[in-house]
Structure 1
């Protein structure tokens, strides 16, 4: 059986605002159609009564027209959010390769993101110099921005 990575889902308070952030800052591209999902099939799949999802898929940069997407969805009824830190078990962050980590961090701050830590650099033996920083998008999801020299 063949396997291919397809998407990562982000549940957002404001899917349009969050999608706009990823489009502007990380060159993600919308993959129509916008989703408006509900029904018994969705209730069964999510184990939620009366589930209603709206949102959009965004093609991630650098992988062509069939590459993986960010699936940014909002539910009418949202659960409580627990803050994820770099050492929280489970999915912690997504990462983007950028030309200039410091400049991208400033863009993220200007667009409503926030910083988790400081800019860091390290020589990785046999690989090269890694420069990176952990940030958060406007809804608190962690993003690693990195550059290799």
Structure 2
């Protein structure tokens, strides 16, 4: 992989794309999670677009749910259908989407009461386990969407995780 000598200065995110196995189930999940309906839904079938993805063709259904400052593109590939990644957090290439909350304890409790299955206990960053010091007191919890995509809720402290 070539790395440029000068930075590319890519500093603004537009959207995150998440491949899903059942678009309707994923729309329901993310709509319940965010309280927002899709702003766009559709289909696409294209050889040229498929090639942009490194695929021979791309036949897909999609929906976009907009958050403040970031879109979530949910994409169900119908041809070619891919295999589930089982994207555990420690596997290179896996990713997670972090959602910022203002009242962690209230959101975490509401999610638990609604049946969200967290991967482990919630966690508050403490001295001796994290740097920088600005992160102390940050609260996090991790869970998965229906296809196993890693998701996180966070209530940052100080200037951490803007």
Q: Same fold (TM over 0.5)?
A: yes
Unaligned runs of 5+ in 1: none
Q: CA deviation at 1:83?
A: 1.6
Counterpart contact for 1:133–1:144, Cα < 8 Å:
yes
Aligned twin of 1:40: 47
Number of equivalent positions: 140
TM-score by length of 1: 0.78
Unaligned runs of 5+ in 2: 1-7, 128-132, 158-162
Q: Which runs of 4+ in 1 moved over 6 A?
A: none
Q: CA deviation at 1:81?
A: 1.7
Match of 1:56 among 60, 63, 80: 63
CA distance, structure 1, for counterparts of residue 89 and residue 9 of structure 2: 32
CA distance, structure 2, for counterparts of residue 72 and residue 22 of structure 1: 9
SS at match of 2:109: helix
Mark the structure with the bigger radius of gyration.
2
Tell me which protein shows more strand as a share of its residues.
1
Aligned twin of 2:120: 117
TM-score by length of 2: 0.73
